[in-house]
Amino acid sequence: MTAQRSTLVAPMPRPGDHVRLVSPASFPSRELVAETTAVLESWGLVVEIGAHALDRRGFMAGRDEDRLADLDDAFRDPAVRAVIATRGGAGAYRIADDLDFAAVLADPKPMVGFSDITALHLALWRHCGLAGIHGFLAGSRSAAATRRLLMDGEPAVLHRDPRAMTIAAEVPGTASGALVGGNLGTVAHAVGVGLPSLAGTILFLEAERTMGLGQIDRQLTQLIRSGALDGVRGIALGRFPGFEDFTDRGWTLVDVFKDRLGSLNVPVLGGIDVGHGPDPLSLPLGPAAVLDTEAGTLSVEPAVR
């Protein structure tokens, strides 16, 4: 496994800079691309669309080699100052470890995306230590949060959502370390095929319900039994929509978290309003972070400089 590097923070895009929309996973609708383009242009950015961003092949945005080519073209082009995924879905995991990492290191630029784009964030962190943004552009709250992280270079201070069910799974304490992670399923499926070392990090996890509690239990157990969570300093739990009122034979999502994460003996913070669902907040991935359950905050250094 490639040795983990110190965090590489890319320059922030500024008004007039070019950004590239790419589709490394599933294909977007033309309406979504138009909406995303309008948001970015309202920030004063010049939007380019990857050559294969609207391709279709099954559930993916075209062939693996074409999706990879769009990513590499974006990272190699000196005029492009940020790479933005049109959506998640499925397929980014197929190409994540084939990126031109030498080009990324030669001219670092932030990657923006979430869900299946977690595979790219993990690969860019593993090979380059590159900071990125777990971000979303649909919805005014999400767009504003992403803009602050991408174009103002602001740190993120996320406060626990007092309505979130995951608060009941908290383990008290404080922790500090680089913040890594994203979608739970994508992180778990990277075990044995490119998951970076998580030792010394704070791990952020989010997911939406597509199956039952067993799915979450299997993914967390895979991470624990593989040793992937050895040395993790803390866990931050984002959104888990669909599980709020879901019960399986007397257990809820909170019971699964208590049973699995409680065995790690590290602080667990719930209620971070980042992930799937309407208008989530955004989060830097890669920079130094501090988790504090007493204050109910996750503070993260800027993803760009």
Taking each continuous run of H as one helix and of E as one strand, the counts in the chain are: 9, 13
**What b-and-e string marks burial along 194-215, b requiring 16 or more CB atoms within 10 Å of the CB?**
bbbbbeebbbbbbbbbeeebeb
Instruction: Rounding to the nearest 10 degrees, give the CA dihedral for residues 265, 269, 274, 277.
Output: 90
Kindly report the backbone phi and psi dihedral angles of residue 213, in degrees, each rounded to the nearest multiple of 5, phi listed first. Answer: -65, -30
E strand or H helix that includes residue 234: strand 234-237
Q: CA–CA separation, 178 vs 163, rounded Å? A: 27
Q: CA–CA separation, 169 vs 252, rounded Å? A: 11
Closest of 182, 234, 171 to residue 206, by C-alpha: 182
End-to-end Cα spacing for the chain: 28
DSSP per-residue string spanning 250-277: TB-HHHHHHHHHGGG-S-EE----BSSS
In 10 A of CB 265, how many CB atoms?
A: 8
CA distances from 38 to 5, 24, 42, 116, 148 (A): 36, 20, 6, 23, 17
Residues with catalytic function: 115, 206, 276
CB contact at 8 A, 99 and 123:
yes
